[in-house]
Amino acid sequence: QVQLVESGGGLVQAGESLRLSCVAAGLTFTNYHMAWFRQAPGHEREFVAGLSINSDKTFYGDSVKGRFAISRDNAKSTVTLEMNNLQPEDAAVYYCAAQVDGSAYPMNRDYGIDYWGKGTLVTVSS
């Protein structure tokens, strides 16, 4: 059974930083590109960041470029999202996502994702 388990969410003030982690189990981690999405109340799920298997390609949503950084540790089956200068508009449930290598679909779309975590809540106060 595939599991993606996120951690690291919490309450921060605007301008502060958080680090989210996701541990994958039940899959061959090096067969999957990894991504983070987020969903705020009343909004559609939004692509945040993506990373290729060998970390040679990274992708970011326009709203987080320059502030967030995605990385992975294939030895630990872990993907991390470093979030800096958080703003109230960054508040959302953040989801870890996995896309199998060779997928015909884009990584930055819901339908391109093969597995989802259950999410971790990030709250940012102004």
What pLDDT, in 10s, does the model give residues 24-77?
Answer: 999 999 999 999 999 999 999 999 999 999 999 999 999 999 999 999 999 999
Are the beta carbons of 94 and 48 closer than 8 angstroms? yes
CA angle 68, 31, 109 (to 5 degrees): 50
User: What average pLDDT does the chain have?
Assistant: 97
Structure tokens at 35: 């991504």
Q: Environment class of residue 82 by beta-carbon count within 10 Å: exposed (0-12), middle (13-18) or buried (19+)?
A: middle
Residue 100 pairs in a beta bridge with: 32
